[in-house]
Every structure is written in C-alpha cells, then in structure tokens.
Chains A and B, each alone.
Chain A
Amino acid sequence: MTRIVSVSRLRPRLVATFALVAAFTSAGVAVTSYYITREAVLRREEAAAGTEGQAVLADAVATLPDRPTRAQVLTLVERLKARAGAEFDVVAVNEDGTFETTSLSLSADSVPVALAGAVDAGRIGQVRATAADEPFVVVGGRPPGAPAFYLFFPLEDVLDDLVLLRNVLAAAGVAAVVLSGFVGALAARGLLRPLRETRNAAHRLEVGLLGTRLPEEGGDEFADLGHAFNRMAEALEASIGDLRALEASHRRFVADVSHELRTPLTALTTAADVLEAHRAGLDDPGGRAARLLVRESHRLATLVEDLMEISRLDAGAAPMSWEPVDVAALVGSAVATRGWSGQVQLGTTGDGARGVTTVADPRRLDAIVANLIGNALEHGRPPVRVLVTASAQEVVVVVNDAGSGIAPDHLDRVFDRFYKADPARPGGRGSGLGLAIAKENARMHGGDLTVASPSGSGATFTLRLPRRVAEPLPGGDPTVTTASHDRIL
C-alpha cells in the first residue's frame, strides 16, 4: 500500500499558512494605523502647544515694558509659572546666559539649538524635542530687551497613550495569529476528514471489501469526490462480480461435465474390464483393439476423476480428514499396494527411522506420494528413491529419479494444469492434472510441493508438511468432526 503522505502533512501546512497570512495582515494593519495615529496625535498636540504657547508669549510680552528690569522679568517668569501649572514649564534665558526655570530638570541647555537660533533671530518658533530624556513641544520667543522665553509642553502623556495603543495593537495581532491558526486547524480537520475517509475506503477496496462506499451528502467538492469514487467502486464491484460469476460458472461447468461423464464412463470401464477378461479368446485385430479400448477407457476415467478432484479443490469443497499418520509406513504402503516395491528404494533418516507420525489426511497424502512416485517411474529412470525425513517442525518426503531431469524452462510450469514438458511425447497414463492436484493437496495440509532438477541428475520433488502432533486433533473428537464437518460441505 502506498502511504498518502500529504494527508499527514496537510494539517501543519494549512495551520502555518493561516497563521502567516494573519500575521502579515495584522502586522501591516497595526503598524500603519499606529504610525498614522501617532503622527495625527503628535501633530495635533504640537499645534495645540504652538497656539497656546504663542498666545501665552504674546500675552506676556504685552505686559513687559521696553526695557524690563531683572525684577520685572522674574515677576513675568513667576506669572508664567503660575499660569503654567501642570500644563507646561518655562525657561527664561538671559542674554548673558543665565536663566530662570520652573522645573528642576530643565535648564538653558535643554533648549534645542535650532529653536534658540530662530528665537535669537527675533522669531517665535516651535519645535519637537527631547529634553532631560523627556519629549516636549518647545515654543520660544524673545520680547525686545527681555530674556528669551521657552515654554516646554510635555508630550509624555500622549506618548504613553501611543505606547498603550501600540501594545494593544500588538496583542490584537498575536490574538489574530493564534485565532487564525486555530481556524486553520479546524479547516484542516474539515478538509482532512473526507480525505481520510477516502483513503480508508480505498484501502478497504484494496483488501477486497468491494461494497465500500463514501457518503455523498451535501453539494460540495467532497460530495463530488464521493460520487466519483462510488461510481468507480460500483464499476469495480460489478466487473469483479461478473468475473467471479463467470469463473464460478466455468468451474461448475467442469464439475457438471465431469459428473455427467461418470455414469457412461462406469458402463464403459466396466464393459472394458469384462472385455479384458475375455481378451484371450479374441483374434489379433480384435484383441489389440480391446487392449486399446481397455487402456483408454481407464485413462479417461482417471482424467474425469482428476477433473472432479480439481473442481472440488477449486471450489474449496474438499474436506480434510485429519488423523495421525505414520508417514514412512504410508509411503511403504503406497508403494506396495501399487506393486512398485521392486522399482523403488525407500529410505528414512533422522526421526524417520523411528517412524514419523504427524496428523494428516492419509488419503490425500497417499495420492501425493503415489503421484510423485508414479511420475518418477513413468518419466524418469530407475532407481527411483524416496526419502522420508523429519524434524520437530516438519516432515519431508523427497522423491527423485536418475533420469535426465526436467529442463529449466519447464521447471516452473510442471505444476500447471495439463502442462506437458514435451508436447511431442504422448501423455502416458496421466491426466495432466496429477501434479496440480498434488500441489493443492500439499497446500491443504499447510505444506508445499516443490521441484528441482540440477543438471546432470534427475528430477527431485520435495513435499514439505508441517508436523502436527496428534493431540489435540484439529476439530476435536474424530468421530464427531468427520461426520459433522463433512455434512456442512
């Protein structure tokens, strides 16, 4: 299965995008509005300070005589101080550089140089400046013959308000980022849920749950996706269903045909056997024909039998009849009952020498062994050797012959149905299904059947069966098992 990476990475990506957009937007809005507000506020403060300062100065100047005495200047400074209150501070700078001040922190040095120049030139001026580490709007002017008066309007309160505004804007920006990150996560969840559902549905389809469908509610893109997905799943289900039905009907057909053939075949083989018994009384063309008839009718019977068997195996309708089996004894019996004792060398090693017992279906095991030995006798060359070995985990039966072996091209395909390694050679007595059935039977035991044919030596077939202990028997009581199990099938 291919992992869909984007689903797991989409959520952080979406959250980051939302947060980033919010950060840029809110930072832009905050910075712009802060500076616009700051400029407007300061301008207004400055204008107000300028207007008031000039008014104060003009008023002061009007009260001063042409050549004021120091006492008069001091009186004016005191008057200005009295009027100033909390609103502003006053610094009066004499021509000789001495000064009067209403604030401990302000002196003649606090006066901005540019403003001092303008005032010395006889103008009333104002400027924004920092004095004694605090911001002020400074308004200055000099009445004729009087000291220069500088009025310091503090901006600190206004700036404090601006700092507050800045902090509020920053906090709002952070909140906006967090909030949009959260919204991003929510959106991702909303987006990812249908994605995850689609992925899971695809996975369920993959493992064969063809009835899997997606919800198609709503009119959004996901409903569209669901609809398209469902149409695909329906098409898939339909075509796989068709294929399965077709396959099942083919199998049924093979089973039915084989079944229908059985009755006439029974008559045929039985009649052939009667003919065989009386062949001695027949003259030669008739006798030869009878021999051919007998042989071929039995071959046909084997073929039909094997077709039936493979149909049952295909349909999964071949029940296992488990019981403890002495494998070496079974091999010996399989050889003896078929009259092969003189042609086959039996050997056992390891546990095999002491009798290998495992739980298996003896008839299926007999069929496998008989097929392998029969093939070796028919297609290989003697001596045919059968070796039974065993460990605690498995029982292994190896059948090999001293023939020319099987060409590598054919090796993979010898278990295929009706596969003939040498098409030119007549098929012999076999149905062409024997090895396919043997392999299926090995699998029914949870084992496997393999073939090897190293050049220079004959073919070697290896049957491996997992070793099962007699207790407990799969399914429990053998009496009950066999009867009830078979009834179901």
Chain B
Amino acid sequence: MASILLVEDDPSVREAVGMALEGDGHRVTTAATGDEAIERWRQHRPELVLLDVMLPGKDGFEVCRAIRAHDQVPIIMLTARSDAFDIVVGLESGADDYVTKPFETRVLLARIKAVLRRQERPAAEPVLRFGDLVIDPGGMAVTLRGVDLRLTPTELRLLLELARRPGQVFTRALLLERVWDYSYLGDSRLVDVCVQRLRGKIEDDPAHPTLVQTVRGVGYKLVPPASAQ
C-alpha cells in the first residue's frame, strides 16, 4: 500500500488512526507537532500526509504550505471543525482533500485510496497542447512555455478531465465524481478551490482566467486559445 505520515497531536487519536491505517496495510510514521511533521516528512518522504489542523507550534496550514513549497505529495487535512473557514483555508494551503472529525474509518480509508489513485500514471495518452500549455498525461507533467508547472496530482487530474473534452461544461458534481471519487456527498468547495489553485499556475492572469472558465451557475470548462485550433 503506501507510506503515510500521520500528523496528530492527540496521542489517542494518533494511536487509533495509526492502528486503522496499519490494519489497511499502510506503513505509518507519526508526528505530534508541526515542526516534527516537517522533520519526518524530510526524513521519510511519505507517499501521503494526513495532517491535523490544530497542532502545537506550527499549525496544519503552515505545515501544508511548507511541504507544498517542495513537494506535490497528496495531503489530506484532518479538521476537528467542519467550519467553512478551516476547510477553505486548508484547501487553499494546498490540501487535496479533507476529513472532519469524528470520521468513520472506512470514509478515511476511502479518501486515502482515492487520493492515492490520482497519483497513478494514466494509461498512455497523447500529449495535449493548448497554446503554450503542454499536458503530458503519461509523464504526469504540465509545462507552460517549457517551464514545468509542478501540479499536484489532484490539480493534474482536474486539468486532464477538463482538457480531454475542451469546450464541454463540467458541473462541479461531475468533477467531484470523476476527480475526487465523490458522489453527491462531496463538497463542491474542493472543486472551486482546486480550480483557483490551478488557475494560479496555468493562467497568465488568474483573476481573469481565459483557459479554465467559470460557467455561471453550472460549473467549469476549458476553452482552448484560438491560436491552438
């Protein structure tokens, strides 16, 4: 399965979640504070990080940003509050998904599985070009004017989903299902925040996106630049 870094300050939660993860076949490293989390991440380079928001010292958001600055490892936030603020800030810090406490173990494991699946290389697909933007699904790489954009697996999957059918409007529910493996129970803010992050990387002016456009009241679509067609 995968190597997971579990960052959680409460020892009981850490132990119980650790047990559940190991029971599902994962290898678990734990950390109790933000600083320890960054230290462990450097040492072990895990394949996935489960990150509690409320941590002594550096909080979960800071840890998330610190890791994101160097690594596109999937991050799932564990938040004790379903407060919208925590969730949006967490997602904006670069988290791929979130789970609110108390969570059901099967839900957590399913989220982990879904995030890891996004890591897998898609079957060989032709390289897609939209103007200066080049998407190589097989290589899991996206470049803009030759510069590697370092998309997270979730951002890449989202872009690929939109790019495979340029011009088609995707509802957020559909994107949640295709990219996040969610049914109707998913949080559409995952899509909104991820689109914002994606625009921040691929758009020349993220405030006035030309490539990934919002279709008011419906969802999103990718509009190829006229020169590319």
Contact = CB atoms under 8 A, between A and B. Distances in A.
Interface of A: 259, 262-271, 273-274, 277, 298, 301, 304-305, 308, 317, 319, 321, 323-325, 330, 333-334, 337, 359, 362-363, 366, 470-473, 476-479, 482-483, 486-487, 489
B216 interface: yes
Contacts of B88: 482-483, 486-487
Contacts of B105: 269-270, 273-274
Contact of A362 (B15, B103, B173): B173
Across chains A and B, which 7 residue pairs bring their CB atoms closest together, nearest first? A486-B84, A273-B105, A267-B12, A270-B16, A470-B217, A473-B217, A265-B102
B192 A277 contact: no
Contacts of A477: 214, 216
18 contacts: A259-B81, A267-B12, A267-B15, A267-B16, A269-B104, A270-B20, A277-B23, A305-B102, A321-B188, A330-B184, A334-B184, A337-B185, A366-B185, A473-B217, A483-B189, A483-B193, A487-B85, A489-B84
Contacts of A470: 217-218
Given A470-B217, A478-B219, A486-B189, 4 more contacts: A263-B101, A269-B105, A270-B13, A487-B84
A324 B189 contact: no
Interface string B7-21: 000101101110110
Contacts of A325: 173
A362 B182 CA distance: 13
A363 B173 CA distance: 11
B101 A266 contact: yes
A387 B104 CA distance: 31
Given A273-B105, A273-B106, A479 B23 contact: no
Name A's interface SS: helix
A266 B16 contact: yes
B16 A333 contact: no
B196 A479 contact: yes
B25 to A, nearest CB: 12
Interface in B171-205: 171-173, 183-185, 187-189, 192-193, 195-196
B82 interface: yes
Nearest to B177: A333
Interface string B76-90: 000011111101100
B217 A478 contact: yes
Contacts of A321: 187-189
A366 B184 contact: yes
B16 A482 contact: no
Nearest to A471: B217
A267 B10 contact: yes
Contacts of A263: 10, 12-13, 80, 101
A478 B80 contact: no
A262 B99 CA distance: 13
B113 to A, nearest CB: 15
Interface in B53-110: 80-85, 87-88, 92, 101-106
A482 B184 contact: no
A36 B20 CA distance: 120
A257 to B, nearest CB: 13
Contacts of A489: 84-85
Contact of A273 (B20, B82, B214, B219): B20
A274 B102 CA distance: 15
Given A267-B16, A479-B214, A483-B192, A301 B102 contact: yes
A470 B172 CA distance: 13
A476 B216 contact: yes
A487 B88 CA distance: 8
A267 B20 contact: no
Nearest to A473: B217
A478 B218 CA distance: 8
A324 B185 contact: no
Nearest to B220: A479
A366 B13 CA distance: 29
Contact of A359 (B16, B102, B217): B217
B216 A471 contact: yes
Contact of B192 (A319, A330, A472, A482): A482
B216 A304 contact: no
B217 A271 contact: no
A479 B195 contact: yes
A447 B188 CA distance: 22
A273 B173 CA distance: 29
Residue with the greatest number of chain B CB neighbours at <10 A, chosen from A277, A473, A483: A483
B184 A337 contact: yes
A324 B217 contact: yes
A258 B210 CA distance: 45
A319 B192 CA distance: 15
Contacts of A317: 83
A476 B192 CA distance: 13
Contacts of A266: 10, 13, 16-17, 80, 101-103
Nearest to A469: B217
Contacts of B83: 317
B90 to A, nearest CB: 12
A362 B174 CA distance: 13
Contacts of B101: 262-263, 265-266
A264 B183 contact: no
Contacts of B219: 478
Contacts of B20: 270, 273-274
A259 B106 CA distance: 22
A330 to B, nearest CB: 5
Contacts of A479: 192, 195-196, 214
A264 B20 CA distance: 16
A308 B80 CA distance: 11
Contacts of B10: 263-264, 266-267
Nearest to B12: A267
Contact of B172 (A267, A366, A478): A478
Contacts of A324: 171, 217-218
Contacts of B189: 321, 482-483, 486
A308 B100 CA distance: 12
B82 A308 contact: yes
A62 to B, nearest CB: 130
Contacts of B173: 323, 325, 362
